[in-house]
Structure 1
Amino acid sequence: MSKILDKFLNENLEELRNAGLYNEIDPVEGPNGPTIKIGGKELINLSSNNYLGLATDEDLKVLAKEATDKYGVGAGAVRTINGTLDIHVELEKKIAEFKGTEAAISYQSGFNCNMAAISAVMNKQDAILSDELNHASIIDGCRLSGAKIIRVKHQDMDDLRAKAKEATESGEYGKVMYITDGVFSMDGNVANLPEIVEIAKEFDLITYVDDAHGSGVMGKGKGTVKHFGLEKEIDMQMGTLSKAVGVVGGYVAGKQNLIDWLKVRSRPFLFSTAVTPADVAATQGALQKIMDSTELHDKLWENGDYLKAGLKKLGFDIGQSETPITPCIIGEEKLAQKFSKRLMEEGVYAKAIVFPTVPRGTGRVRNMPTAAHTKEMLDEALAIYEKVGKELGILK
């Protein structure tokens, strides 16, 4: 190895470890369900994005196996050559129906969506207004576009209006977009889409909502845009197929001409092999389940409310969460890491989240209850939280 590279890596890894910012990866031995096994020990799992429990659904396993038998294990090519199988087309129709739009395009991941769609529509002659707490994939997609990036204070509609006015009236930019998460994954709060749409109409902003953590969770499962009844008002709805939907991939939904443009100009679509037939079939099945019944959605919210109330009663700082995502904000990064480690030793897997995922000094453990958890599991978890919280001086 190059000496200068070796020196760079060793020094910076040591710095991260000393600051409590180095992330240890814990391989899961078996399925990612309401409980998981790590290092031979069974733990209550509060770190999964598998909100509805669909990642381990038996019906979806059958669909995936049947698709593999029929189509093979891979699509064999990029979408624009001959990697678009008939089931990819069916999936995109299903997504459009699910999101209430004219059309949709599917990608290999949610991260790919933001890299693809933002840079296909925006360029260096344009400006993007971006909420300061937007996901890393949004930030990277904005950077890739070459557009001027204008940070907007988190959920501050006065700041958005002022910066929209300045950007659109300056005459410097061809197009101006406002982009926001629908549900903010580290805090669990929800974008103020009604007022965002009002401001967007006033200044002719392109609206882009990343609903990775809202699809399957908000709007009786249809997402944050549906929750507010704004399917006809938001220009671009992006989401993942790997969280509440339980499989893998992502999508952008909107008008037909938008989707037509993305299919000829978004680079991950043009240059990456399509997702596997098994994933496509399982995703279609998962979306149908969400559309057919709110049972899993309702159970998720019941469990989320129960855990949130329990943590708040114990005295934890759970921020301003409006969704089942419930942070326990500890503050100091090393203490957050220690808290997470002790929870794991006692039987709860709840991963510490520290800078750069969240701002410095706001280290936390993020809790993700799912529809698959039982009340008994949540009660056991709360008892462990109380024990460890008092032991470490987080609770009085």
Structure 2
Amino acid sequence: MSSKVLHEFLQPQLEALREQGLYNVIDSIEGPNGPKIKINGQTLINLSSNNYLGFSNDARLKAKSIQATEEYGVGAGAVRTINGTMKIHDELEKRIAEFKHTEAAIAFQSGFNCNMGAISAVMTKKDAIISDELNHASIIDGCRLSGAKIIRARHQDMDHLRELAKEATTSGEYEKVMYICDGVFSMDGDVAKIPEIVEIAEEFGLITYVDDAHGSGVMGKGAGTVKHFGLSDRIDFQIGTLSKAIGVVGGYVAGSQELIDWLKVRARPFLFSTSLTPGAAAACIEAIDVMDSHPETIEKLWENGTYLKAGLKDLGFDIGHSETPITPCIIGDENLTQKFSRRLLEEGVYAKSIVFPTVPKGTGRVRNMPTAVHTKEMLDEVLKVYEKVGKELNVIS
């Protein structure tokens, strides 16, 4: 039972969220998170997972996870800096660095932890961070934790970035200036302009930081957005997750050896949280090996993404400017967006609504995440349902 003070704070806040269509109901799935899932006994085509390559239930990854668990145990038993670093963790970090074409890499417990730890390990209140206005919440929180001055840059506006970079680096106010952006922006699916970013950063002496959570395993034959542009040696920080396309859990920073050495002594989540489980580390290594040896898996992801986007666009939906398999259907009004998502579910398609504060007010959308393991028949069924619900709710004519 909440105290009276807490109740008086929580009750009206929750009620207001429900009235505005901003309250998110969490559904529990019964079984693995695959192209089809079961919720409350109902089988649904799943378009809300970040499991881009279908690895979260892949037999090869499960086998490696079980093998490592038998060899090392279910947990690491300590933080990395005491005696929680096992050979399997070293192998994972070496494999990530090879895959990302960097000198070294460090594994964290989550992608969120990467941004909380890496930004604040390098940037201080004497510095400034230029941050794309649509950056992920974990980047925003990491910037705040650093104490640095945060300067918002208009989304993907390179002229504005140049202007801000010139102003920040010539003002004499800051010791260091960093530019941070997502590699692939998760709500719209557009890709960072890495070549232009590198050009501006090198002109003005900016530290560069790319969070490639949605690009790892998707762009650059799996190695990410920076590799896609052939610029792995010109971006200081490459951040990624091990929980989306890789299909397991965790995150990583890839970069120079001295950067990784520094993070291992200064990144607080690395210093004060127990390591990834051995089973997770082994499964991540296997995922990277499979991506390397079976590029057709990534090709299938892109084929499915292109097919679904074309179908939704032909029906008349606003799918924004996505350049990746991420496929938003922008509805606008929050309550209508929530209703649209509920109707999809009733018709057998699980595609969650995304509303404020995840996206700006008035830009509510249903975000579709096709994966490599969806079949064409599943996607055709999705398009039929979208057409039915879209016309019913007057979203399309």
The one-letter code of the counterpart of 2:387 is E
Name structure 2 gaps, 5 residues minimum: none
Deviation track 1:60-89 (CA, whole Å, cap 9, x = no partner) reads 111111111111100000000000001100
Name the counterpart of 1:360. Answer: 361
Name the counterpart of 1:380. Answer: 381
Once the two structures are TM-superposed, the CA of residue 293 in structure 1 deviates from its matched residue by 2.2
Query: Whole-Å Cα distance in 2 between the matches of residues 153 and 281 of structure 1?
Result: 40
Once the two structures are TM-superposed, the CA of residue 292 in structure 1 deviates from its matched residue by 1.7
The one-letter code of the counterpart of 1:260 is D
Q: TM-score, normalised by structure 1?
A: 1.00
Deviation track 1:169-213 (CA, whole Å, cap 9, x = no partner) reads 000000000000000000000000000000000000000000000
SS in 2 for 1:329: strand
Deviation track 1:213-237 (CA, whole Å, cap 9, x = no partner) reads 0001001111000000000000000
Over aligned residue pairs, what C-alpha RMSD do you find?
0.4
Aligned residues: 396
Query: Whole-Å Cα distance in 1 between the matches of residues 140 and 289 of structure 2?
Result: 32
SS in 2 for 1:251: strand
Query: Whole-Å Cα distance in 2 between the matches of residues 220 and 75 of structure 1?
Result: 31
Q: Does 1:121 align with 2:122?
A: yes
Q: TM-score, normalised by structure 2?
A: 0.99
Q: Does 1:324 align with 2:288?
A: no
Name the counterpart of 2:275. Answer: 274
SS in 2 for 1:37: strand
Query: Whole-Å Cα distance in 2 between the matches of residues 3 and 126 of structure 1?
Result: 43
Query: Whole-Å Cα distance in 1 between the matches of residues 3 and 39 of structure 2?
Result: 35
Once the two structures are TM-superposed, the CA of residue 2 in structure 1 deviates from its matched residue by 2.2
Name structure 1 gaps, 5 residues minimum: none
Query: Whole-Å Cα distance in 1 between the matches of residues 357 and 260 of structure 2?
Result: 33
Query: Whole-Å Cα distance in 2 between the matches of residues 70 and 220 of structure 1?
Result: 32
Deviation >3 Å, runs of 4+ = none
The one-letter code of the counterpart of 1:228 is F
The one-letter code of the counterpart of 1:239 is G
Name the counterpart of 1:217. Answer: 218
SS in 2 for 1:328: strand
Once the two structures are TM-superposed, the CA of residue 291 in structure 1 deviates from its matched residue by 1.6
Query: Whole-Å Cα distance in 2 between the matches of residues 85 and 340 of structure 1?
Result: 44
Deviation track 1:253-305 (CA, whole Å, cap 9, x = no partner) reads 00000000000000000000001011001000001111222111000000000
1:220-231 superposed matches below 5 A:
220-231=221-232
1:66-105 superposed matches below 5 A:
66-105=67-106
Query: Whole-Å Cα distance in 1 between the matches of residues 220 and 65 of structure 2?
Result: 27
Query: Whole-Å Cα distance in 2 between the matches of residues 262 and 68 of structure 1?
Result: 27
Name the counterpart of 1:45. Answer: 46
Query: Whole-Å Cα distance in 2 between the matches of residues 379 and 248 of structure 1?
Result: 31
Q: Does 1:347 align with 2:348?
A: yes
Query: Whole-Å Cα distance in 1 between the matches of residues 291 and 113 of structure 2?
Result: 24
Name the counterpart of 2:135. Answer: 134
Q: Does 1:159 align with 2:163?
A: no
Deviation track 1:17-43 (CA, whole Å, cap 9, x = no partner) reads 000000000000000000000010000
Query: Whole-Å Cα distance in 2 between the matches of residues 225 and 96 of structure 1?
Result: 13
SS in 1 for 2:106: strand
Once the two structures are TM-superposed, the CA of residue 245 in structure 1 deviates from its matched residue by 0.4
Name the counterpart of 1:255. Answer: 256
Query: Whole-Å Cα distance in 2 between the matches of residues 209 and 35 of structure 1?
Result: 32
SS in 2 for 1:264: helix
Once the two structures are TM-superposed, the CA of residue 359 in structure 1 deviates from its matched residue by 0.4
Once the two structures are TM-superposed, the CA of residue 351 in structure 1 deviates from its matched residue by 0.2
* Identical aligned residues as a percent: 75
Once the two structures are TM-superposed, the CA of residue 3 in structure 1 deviates from its matched residue by 1.2
Name the counterpart of 1:148. Answer: 149
Name the counterpart of 2:339. Answer: 338
